[in-house]
Structures are given as structure tokens and as C-alpha cells.
Amino acid sequence: MSEFHSIGLIGRHESDSAVQSLKRLKTFLEKGGYQVVLDNETAASFVADGVRVTSKEKLGELCDLVIVVGGDGSLLAAARALAKFSVPLLGINRGRLGFLTDISPDEIETKVGEVLAGKYMAESRFLLDMSVSREGKPIGKGSALNDVVIHPGEYIRMIEFDLFIDGQFVYTQRSDGLIISTPTGSTAYALSGGGPIMHPKLDAIVVVPLNPHTLSSRPIVVEGSSEFKIIIGDENVALPHVTCDGHEQFITQPGDVIRIHKKPHRLTLVHPIKHNFYETCRSKLNWQVK
């Protein structure tokens, strides 16, 4: 008997291919006797008579498993909303790269069926919490499964800031910005910025400067429990922006303080039984094989 009974579905409602996969998945699950629950946005994309509809956050309370149909961006959004509920996520790739959504659309019945039968791998990932304060008062907060990025926004100008890790001063930097990334995000924007690939099981965070004015400023890998404080410099022409997974955005001012640390709630990702991180890197990053 399956450990999963109520299954939530989240999909890219603006994508015709994702909607097709959602319909196929819904039919498969209902035939198997599972209760299907859709979030509001997903339900708006196709007629789903008799299916329970709720908010994305509520899925975490109602479901034993949530299946995300879309690209990595769709799974990142689901992770930010659902991590605090400890509901596992399974991804079906209807995006481009698909590092996190690793079941192909033509394998839905086979691979999802195996997961429901208990043949799967569970992987724990941590997220980051970010907050911005001004004159000691909070003005914004967000969370990220991939990364928190500080950048100049719409202007092509260097920005200046002070970086502290665990209360210790690291440097004053002038650059195009800074990426603070989890192991999950190390194969995303941080990789494009010259950061290292980190295995998902690592309890570590990488700090990647974006085009630093001092060329000796290189990526730094620190403990996952590290706490970061970034103080926006007084001499900035551009007002630095802060984004979480490229989604939530806050515009800072000189003197603002950004704090980043590990989120207390972890995310459980579900993979097919033969999932292999290195094979994923080979296929997605076009690594050479014999």
C-alpha cells in the first residue's frame, strides 16, 4: 500500500505542454485511487471537475506528496512556498534545463508509478532566509532554494558593499554584485559566475563575486551554518537590488543591511530510484563521455 494518498499538482498554467502533462498525470492518479488536489493557478488552466482546489501554501497541509510539472523555476517557487510543511516534492520536466525536475513527460506513468509504489530516493536540501533592514527596522524578507543575489538592477554600474561572515569582516568589494548560493544553486547562476559545482549533500554555502574590480577576489565556500551580513556602501550611484531565486526583489539604499542564513525548514526532493547527480551533470552540462 502506498504511503502517499493525497497528491498535490502544481504546473505552469501558461504552458500548453505542461497542461497536457498535468491532464495526463491527473487521469493516471485518479485511476490509481489517489486524491488529487490542485493549486488555484493550476486549476485555472484546465477543467478539473470534482478535484479539490486550494492555495499553493495549503497544499502543504493537505497533501502527502506534491508533483510539480514545469521547469526548475516552477519547482523553486513550490519549494519556497512549501518547505515549512515538510511535504516532499517530485518534479516532471516541462522546462529547458531541468536540474531539479528530472522525470521526462513520456515517463509519467512509469516513473511516477514507481515513486508511488515506494521505489524512490529522497534527498534533503536546505534553503536560505534573507532579510533587509534600514536604520534597524525590517523592510523586506525572502527565501531561496538556489541563491540570493545582490546586483545593480537596471544600471550597468559597479556597486560597493561590505561583507561580514559570522561577524568577521571579509572585505569591502566593488563589483557587479554578489551571489550567495546553496549547493542546489551551485549549478545555476553561481556556476555562470565562475563558482564551483557543489554536491547537493554538502552542508556548505558558496559566495561568488560578480566581475569584481579586484581580480583576486574569488569564490569562497563556507559552512552551511554561516551567517552573512552585507552593508550597502554610501558611495553607490546605482541602488543595489536583492533577489531570491530571481523572484522576490528589494531595492536597497546606502546603509541598508542584508542578512542571510540557512532556513530552519528543509526541503525533501523525491527522485526516481536510479537518480544520479553526476549523470544529471553529464547530460545537462554536456560533460564529455567516452
Active site residues: 72
**Is residue 76 within 8 Å of 100, Cβ to Cβ?**
yes
d(CA 152, CA 214): 17
Q: What is the DSSP letter of 225?
A: T
Cβ-based neighbour number of residue 197 at 10 Å: 13
Please name which of 77, 107, 73, 126 lies closest in space to residue 272, comparing C-alpha atoms.
107
d(CA 142, CA 147): 11
Cβ-based neighbour number of residue 58 at 10 Å: 18
d(CA 262, CA 91): 23
d(CA 155, CA 66): 39
**Is residue 161 within 8 Å of 254, Cβ to Cβ?**
no
d(CA 29, CA 109): 9
**Is residue 65 within 8 Å of 270, Cβ to Cβ?**
yes
Q: According to the 3-state scheme, what is the secondary structure of 67-124?
A: EEEECHHHHHHHHHHHHHHCCCEEEEECCCCCCCCCECHHHHHHHHHHHHCCCEEEEE
Strand partners, 267: 125
Joined together, the cell numbers standing for residue 145 give 532554494
